[in-house]
Amino acid sequence: MRIAVLESPLDLGPVVGAVVGIDRGGLVTFTGLVRRKGRIPDVVRLEYEAYRTMAEKVLEQIADEIEREIGGARVAIHHRVGSLAVGEAAVVVAAAAPHRAEAFTACRAAIDRLKQRAPIWKKEIGESGAAWIEDCC
């Protein structure tokens, strides 16, 4: 599955499996993990909410765009929703390409565009309060 919005824990295996191939020698993955130190101190968990149908469509568009822009590249993106503890993965991206430079470029473009465009929101829940995080670092 190249694109998915899932409630279950994420793993690199499926996104990697969706992009590898005998003509692609470079494989880059990105994993976004919930940090202890968020906008509020001592984050306990993050709640991710998605407009799921649109998020899947937008992630598909992002992967398609990048594959068109970067010859020979393949991109897969899985995003998690629901309640995540510190250390859990919120998103995994894999990009494979003939050589490593394009694989790095494709992976970076996928996560950057996801953050700008995917209708997904997160709320930090800490010991001293909660806050919707409006943009991301």
Partner 1 sequence: MRVTILYFANLRERRGAASDLLDLPPGGDVAMALATIAKLHPGIAAQLPHAQVAVNLALVAATTPLSDGDELALIPPVSGGAS
**Measured CA angle at 74 (ends 65, 113), to 5 deg:** 40
Which of partner 1, its own copies, none lies near 36, with the C-beta cut-off 5 to 8 A by kind?
Answer: its own copies
Taking residues 16 to 45 in sequence order and writing x for each that binds its own copies by CB under 8 A, - otherwise, the string is x---x-xxxxxxxxxxxxxxxx--------
Query: Is residue 103 a contact residue for its own copies (CB under 8 A)?
Result: yes
- Strands 74-80 and 3-6, sheet pairing: parallel
Q: Which pair of structure tokens corresponds to residue 94?
A: 């894999």
Which of partner 1, its own copies, none lies near 28, with the C-beta cut-off 5 to 8 A by kind?
Answer: its own copies
Which of its own copies, partner 1, none lies near 121, with the C-beta cut-off 5 to 8 A by kind?
Answer: partner 1
Query: Is residue 45 a contact residue for partner 1 (CB under 8 A)?
Result: no
Place of tokens 């490593």: 100
Are 133 and 122 a contacting pair, CB within 8 Å?
A: yes
